[in-house]
Structure 1
Amino acid sequence: MSDISIPGVTASKYKTDQLIEGLMKVERIPRNREEEQLKTYKAQQSAWRDLTRLSTTLRDTAKNLFSFNNPFTEKNGESTNDRAVSVSATREAREQSFKLKINQVAAADSFLSSEIPRDGKVPPGSYSFAVGDKTLQFQWKGGTYQDFSDALNRRGTGMLRSSLIQVTPNTRALLIESLKTGEKHRLSFEDDAKTFALDVGLIKKDEANAIETSLSDVYAPPVSNSLVEFSSTARAKDGLVLEYRISWETTEAGETEVSPGASGPVIGTPPVLEWKGITIQNTPSETALTQTAPPQPKVPVTDPSVVSLRSSRGQAMPLPPPPEGELSSDVSINLSEFGDVNALVIHNRNTERSYKIENIIIKDPKASNGYVPVNPVSVAQDARFTYEGIQIVRSTNSIDDLIPGVTLTLQEPTENQETITIKPDTEVAKEAIISLVGGYNRLMAEINILTQLKPEIISEIQYFTEEERKSSEEKLGMMQGDTTLNGIKSSLQRITSGSYPAIEGSALRLLSDLGISTKSNAGGGVDSARLRGYLEIDEKKLDEALKNRMPEIKSLFGLDTDGDLIIDAGVAFSIDSQLTPYVQTGGIFSTRTNGLASRITNSEKKITQLDKQLEDKEDELRNKYGKMEGTLNNLQNQSNSISNFNKQNSN
């Protein structure tokens, strides 16, 4: 049974499988050759894609250095007291420095109730809460404090907020706070909300004795004094606010006729004598008195400091004058900053200005509609600060409408004036320049790897990962002698070593003036790595240039030389102009990649065709050798039969 052989199924005793495999190996040579070519095409396509990616990155980085959004116009804001005021600046801000003193920061109403029972209930009713001119009103069906607080939070998004604070195991306190800062956003309670707020001790009726003023309006002509008495002393601890409106106008000085006055005693006219037609004139009498000097006109006086507060000790404390150039302004003074005071003093020294102080009132900032909070965590107030000596009032602590391109964030009052400085953001500019140098070096490394068969090129690059190193070894020298890549390398080296036009008065014309160069001639010996065109940065020299020569650096990378508002010169402009034809849609790299894509498609089709031919060939050979084996097996069987027949006859 061991001699049974089925062609194409069992191992052939004639070794036809080995014969077929040997013949197929020869037949597969064109197919294997095409497969190797396909691998080469794919490797080249991958290499061109990497080149496109690296070149595009470098081009985009260069374009960023001379575009409208270039980093050299970015600004950075610095404050001498970051805890009190922080500052941010956009590119629209101009370089400047100014003084700022914060008297108070803006705050929102935040009221805490008295202790309430843990299992207490909020009665049903119509509850209305107002924050400034916005009102929240809803119908409450009754429930626990926690349910009421949750309902208030759901409805008061962006307007007010509520929370419960555990005071003791059995008591809580309800905190209701406005989410809007500023005096105009006072928190008030209406309808059943007012009754509820009174019951839980959020607010109470304002029973404090109001301080009245003896006059509500005062007119102060030139060179005059007036006094506005308070009905009682305004104590500093009460935190009261004095408000009034002040305005002034020029008063024309009347034309006063100045009498020359008498120069001596009046003694009359000397007598005249006439005799026989002859008139004799007597000589006037003389006196020993001197001539009286004519009166001198008054010197004009201009003094904007007109209003003062009188302390309980009788001292006058001047209040800030109205802003220069404004004919009228509203004034709000926090009296707690001036101690105990009892009168407003108007002292107009001006000779040609009259002043009006109107709507004089003293009020409690904590009071709202006749009610004050019982336990105020904070009280709605505006931010008040001086900018270069000018009084500024805002309802928010984020001030973005005072200085173009600058946002101030007030955080706490200051005792002294703080200095805010707006200057170029050197860190952003430095990072952009470093990115350009990094992108340039990475592209040059890729070109060196593809065009040179030198393993040391890869070993010299310290920043490669193990995967990048392995990939680079596979494509080392793949495009050796490629004129396109060699041309790009030469052009980029020429760009980074060339001289460029500069703005007037600038001596910064080379990248090396910034501390950026190949350093190929540094040291006493020759470093082959430095001869490959990589750029190096002298960081100390670059930092110094960024600190003092920002406009010159900007012009080095991109400059409009003909005044048409279009950049037409500079290092970054030249790199962009050099690489754009290669990386743009339909550019040189795209053409190369598309050409390889066509070759890859054709090669894959050819391999598919060759595979079909090889399959058919192998089937043909197996069929032929199978028939041959069958014939040989039949012959062998016939031979065996004859041999067995002869043996039987001989016996």
Structure 2
Amino acid sequence: MPEINIPGVTASRYKTDELIEGLMRIERIPRERADADLQRYRDQQDAWRQLSRQVSALRDAARTLYSYNNPFTEKIAESSDSAAVSATATREAQDQEFSLSVSQTAAADSFLSAEIPEGASVPAGTYGFTVGEKTVRFSWKGGTFPDFVQSLNRRGDGTLRASLIRTAPGKRALLIESLQTGAGQRLGFEEAALDLALETGLIQKNTASSISADATEAQIPAGASQTIGFSEPARASRGLVLEYTVTAQTEAKPPEPETGDSPEETVPGPQIQKAGEITYNGVTIVSADSETALPAEEPVPPPPPPEPVVTGAVLSLRSTRGAAIPLPDIPQEGSQTFTIPLNEFGDVNALLVHNGNTARSVQISGIRIYDPAAAGEFTPVNPVSVARDAVAQYEGITITRPENEIDDLVPGVTLHLHGQTDRPADIRIEPDREAAKETVITFVANYNRVLAELNILTQNKPEIIQEIQYFTPEETEEAEKKLGMMQGETALNTLKAALQRITSSPYLSGDDAVYSLLAQIGISTRADSGGGIEASRLRGYLEINEEQLDSALEQSIQGVKDLFGYDTDGDMVIDSGVAVALDNQVTPYVQTGGIFATRTSGLGNRITETERRITQLDRQLEQKEADLRQKYSQMEGALNRLESQSDSISSFSRRQNSGN
């Protein structure tokens, strides 16, 4: 039985598929070349883009070194007692060191009630709460304590807060606290809230006897003393506070006599009368003075004026044992209000004033003794904390603030009070040298990364990649693909030479420049160091001697700043320095429409053109293959027909022969 062969469906006896594939392999050569070109263009475009990103990062790092936000003007504040007081400084702060003692931190009122039964409820009414000048008032229809607390918290956001504290099984206590610190932010209760506060034991009537001073004002001239007694001893256990205002004034000096107005004093002695005289006929005869052995009278100079005395140690407290306990010094001039916690001085019964100044009078006014926990006629029963101002001594001067964040005392410095100091804390404001160092290191790292990329792209030397130890395996593989990709690219060779020239050139920042070379602050290629020549050091990478950099920043951080950017003509524009020169050099490469953008855009056009050509070649190859298959199919059909005819003729001949 003859073999059935369907052209284009069954395998061809004539191996037309192999013939067609061989012909198409030749036809695909232009297509494969175009595909290789497309991949090469894409790789080059990716390489240009990556280089552009790295150079942009280098430019940004350079600009950071001389811009307005450069790290050399950043300040850091350090405290010798950071647990009690810390500080933050802005770049406007001056380099300085000062001492600060914290007597007390600012606090807010926080009152805890007595235990409340589990099923207790809050009666209906209008509840008013005050914190300083702010008022929270709302109508309550009655309900449980948890619902009341939620209702109060919804309305008291930023002013006050309430919570229920479980003190024992089945027992709770109500805690109401102000969210505003300062002695002027007292927590108060009005209307139904006052009744609730009294019933739950938040507050109670103030029944403690008050203590008054014998005088609320006193004027003490220079050299005078005065004792201002208290109506009863102020016990330390009561936690009372003494408040007073002191005004110091320089007394007017008496007018000094002019020279020659007052005769000099003479030594007193016996008075000898003058001799007599006689006149006769108009002629006067005067007797000679008596002769004595007494010395001539000599003038005695006036006694020297007393040495001027200026002292702030004027006030003290008298203890019940009669000892004088010094109070903070008074100001040299002007007025100052003092708030003195008496529990730090033990039991006292008088205020002592001894003005030892020779030309300053002291006036004391507003003397009062009060209980800081008491709010008017009420006092808290279980105060967790009581509203009070922060009290500190800045360089010996007492200051008070309603908050623990003080930003108006030292320009550019914010003080954060955390607790009481045992001794004066030393606050030091100095440049943030660590931040400056990190920024310089970042600049050098970006520089080396750019230089490594330029070396890889412009040279076909595998050792360049092997020398780079910080590459990851993925980065190493990618670098191997790009090795020597842009040999002969003039723009890249020019850029590399310019970068190496910039980092090795001197930059003078005035006649008194401290540093003029990067090598002076520990940054160099070290290509000329001893111990033989290393190829890696000849490629231009920068190395950092951290000890030398630290020393340069410590000795003159301004000199390091001027090395990277300096205003040579005083026009408020930084126009010289390593960072400025580098920025000016690389900007034409990375700016919009710059060299990198032009190269990337040109490759983009080539990619588009190549893709269009590949599409056209694919259509041509598809048509060519279809034509070949059609022709070979027709050929196979013709051959099959000829073979069939040949078989028919052969069969006919055999039949004829067998018939004969």
Is this a same-fold pair by TM over 0.5?
yes
Taking a change above 3 Å as real, the CA distance of residues 262 and 273 of structure 1, as seen in their structure-2 partners, is farther
Taking a change above 3 Å as real, the CA distance of residues 623 and 557 of structure 1, as seen in their structure-2 partners, is same
Q: How far is the alpha carbon of 1:309 from its aligned partner?
A: 2.1
Task: Give distance in 2, aligned partners of 1:185 and 1:388.
Answer: 28
User: How many residue pairs are counted as aligned between the two chains?
Assistant: 650
Q: For residues 271-295 of structure 1, what are the alpha-carbon distances to aligned partners after superposition, in whole Å with 9 as ceiling and x for unaligned?
A: 6544554444466788979789686
2:617 pairs with 1:610? yes
2:41 pairs with 1:34? no
Task: Give distance in 1, aligned partners of 2:267 and 2:394.
Answer: 57
Task: Give distance in 2, aligned partners of 1:252 and 1:636.
Answer: 144
Task: Give distance in 2, aligned partners of 1:494 and 1:350.
Answer: 69
Task: Give distance in 1, aligned partners of 2:238 and 2:181.
Answer: 21
Taking a change above 3 Å as real, the CA distance of residues 281 and 351 of structure 1, as seen in their structure-2 partners, is farther
2:539 pairs with 1:532? yes
Structure-2 residue corresponding to 1:313:
321
Deviates more, 1:629-638 or 1:447-456: 629-638
Deviates more, 1:274-283 or 1:327-336: 274-283
2:332 pairs with 1:324? yes
Match of 2:555 among 548, 553, 557: 548
Task: Give distance in 1, aligned partners of 2:359 and 2:316.
Answer: 20
2:226 pairs with 1:226? yes
Structure-2 residue corresponding to 1:643:
650
Deviates more, 1:568-577 or 1:41-50: 568-577
Letter in 2 for 1:509: S
Conserved? CA contact 1:503–1:555, under 8 Å: no
Q: For residues 572-609 of structure 1, what are the alpha-carbon distances to aligned partners after superposition, in whole Å with 9 as ceiling and x for unaligned?
A: 11111111111111111110000000100111111111
Q: How far is the alpha carbon of 1:117 from its aligned partner?
A: 1.4
For structure 1, list consecutive stretches of 5 or more residues without a partner in the other structure.
Answer: none
2:361 pairs with 1:354? yes
Task: Give distance in 2, aligned partners of 1:432 and 1:139.
Answer: 59
Q: How far is the alpha carbon of 1:501 from its aligned partner?
A: 0.7
Conserved? CA contact 1:323–1:391, under 8 Å: no
Structure-2 residue corresponding to 1:115:
115
Structure-1 residue corresponding to 2:349:
342
2:506 pairs with 1:491? no
Q: For residues 65-89 of structure 1, what are the alpha-carbon distances to aligned partners after superposition, in whole Å with 9 as ceiling and x for unaligned?
A: 1111111111111111111111211
Match of 2:473 among 466, 489, 492: 466
2:568 pairs with 1:561? yes
Conserved? CA contact 2:248–2:331, under 8 Å: no
Q: How far is the alpha carbon of 1:362 from its aligned partner?
A: 0.8
Structure-2 residue corresponding to 1:177:
177
Letter in 2 for 1:318: P
Match of 1:449 among 440, 452, 456: 456
Letter in 1 for 2:468: I
Taking a change above 3 Å as real, the CA distance of residues 292 and 577 of structure 1, as seen in their structure-2 partners, is closer
Q: How far is the alpha carbon of 1:354 from its aligned partner?
A: 3.5
Task: Give distance in 2, aligned partners of 1:552 and 1:291.
Answer: 68
Q: How far is the alpha carbon of 1:435 from its aligned partner?
A: 0.7
Q: How far is the alpha carbon of 1:533 from its aligned partner?
A: 1.4
Deviates more, 1:557-566 or 1:467-476: 557-566
Q: How far is the alpha carbon of 1:505 from its aligned partner?
A: 3.2
Task: Give distance in 1, aligned partners of 2:477 and 2:202.
Answer: 73
Deviates more, 1:500-509 or 1:330-339: 500-509
Q: How far is the alpha carbon of 1:345 from its aligned partner?
A: 2.4
Conserved? CA contact 1:263–1:291, under 8 Å: no
Match of 2:428, SS state, is: strand
Structure-2 residue corresponding to 1:160:
160
Structure-2 residue corresponding to 1:100:
100
2:408 pairs with 1:401? yes
Q: How far is the alpha carbon of 1:144 from its aligned partner?
A: 2.1
Q: For residues 78-135 of structure 1, what are the alpha-carbon distances to aligned partners after superposition, in whole Å with 9 as ceiling and x for unaligned?
A: 1111111112112111111111111111111111111111232222221111111111
Deviates more, 1:595-604 or 1:255-264: 255-264
Match of 1:392, SS state, is: strand
Match runs of 1:41-440 below 5 Å: 41-253=41-253, 263=268, 273-275=278-280, 277-281=282-286, 296=303, 299=306, 301-325=309-333, 327-440=334-447
Conserved? CA contact 2:216–2:368, under 8 Å: yes
Task: Give distance in 2, aligned partners of 1:437 and 1:8.
Answer: 68
Match of 2:207, SS state, is: coil
Q: How far is the alpha carbon of 1:449 from its aligned partner?
A: 1.1
Match of 2:627 among 600, 611, 620: 620
Conserved? CA contact 1:519–1:536, under 8 Å: yes
Letter in 2 for 1:108: A
Task: Give distance in 2, aligned partners of 1:427 and 1:297.
Answer: 59
Deviates more, 1:473-482 or 1:34-43: 473-482
Match runs of 1:485-524 below 5 Å: 485-524=492-531
Deviates more, 1:185-194 or 1:514-523: 514-523
Letter in 1 for 2:218: V
Conserved? CA contact 2:78–2:429, under 8 Å: yes
Deviates more, 1:24-33 or 1:298-307: 298-307
Q: For residues 143-190 of structure 1, what are the alpha-carbon distances to aligned partners after superposition, in whole Å with 9 as ceiling and x for unaligned?
A: 222222222222222222222222111211222211111111111111
Q: How far is the alpha carbon of 1:323 from its aligned partner?
A: 2.9
Q: For residues 410-453 of structure 1, what are the alpha-carbon distances to aligned partners after superposition, in whole Å with 9 as ceiling and x for unaligned?
A: 11111211111111111111111111111111111111111111
For structure 2, list consecutive stretches of 5 or more residues without a partner in the other structure.
Answer: none
Q: How far is the alpha carbon of 1:5 from its aligned partner?
A: 2.4
Letter in 1 for 2:462: P
Conserved? CA contact 1:125–1:140, under 8 Å: yes
Task: Give distance in 1, aligned partners of 2:549 and 2:314.
Answer: 55
Structure-2 residue corresponding to 1:572:
579
Task: Give distance in 1, aligned partners of 2:223 and 2:547.
Answer: 64
Match of 2:430, SS state, is: strand
Task: Give distance in 2, aligned partners of 1:208 and 1:418.
Answer: 37
The share of aligned pairs that are identical, in percent, is: 54
Conserved? CA contact 2:267–2:300, under 8 Å: no
The RMSD of aligned alpha carbons is 2.5
Q: For residues 12-59 of structure 1, what are the alpha-carbon distances to aligned partners after superposition, in whole Å with 9 as ceiling and x for unaligned?
A: 222222222222111111111111000000000011011101111111
Q: For residues 222-272 of structure 1, what are the alpha-carbon distances to aligned partners after superposition, in whole Å with 9 as ceiling and x for unaligned?
A: 443333221001112222111222224444355699897994677888765
Q: For residues 464-517 of structure 1, what are the alpha-carbon distances to aligned partners after superposition, in whole Å with 9 as ceiling and x for unaligned?
A: 111111111111111112221111111111111222213443442211111111
Deviates more, 1:572-581 or 1:41-50: 572-581
Q: For residues 307-327 of structure 1, what are the alpha-carbon distances to aligned partners after superposition, in whole Å with 9 as ceiling and x for unaligned?
A: 3322222233333333334x2
Conserved? CA contact 1:222–1:354, under 8 Å: yes
Conserved? CA contact 2:72–2:561, under 8 Å: yes
Task: Give distance in 2, aligned partners of 1:514 and 1:487.
Answer: 27
Deviates more, 1:154-163 or 1:435-444: 154-163
Task: Give distance in 2, aligned partners of 1:18 and 1:419.
Answer: 92
How high is the TM-score relative to the length of structure 2? 0.93
Q: How far is the alpha carbon of 1:355 from its aligned partner?
A: 3.3
Letter in 2 for 1:437: V
How high is the TM-score relative to the length of structure 1? 0.94
Structure-2 residue corresponding to 1:20:
20
Letter in 2 for 1:10: T
Conserved? CA contact 2:314–2:330, under 8 Å: no
Task: Give distance in 2, aligned partners of 1:395 and 1:368.
Answer: 17
Taking a change above 3 Å as real, the CA distance of residues 110 and 283 of structure 1, as seen in their structure-2 partners, is farther
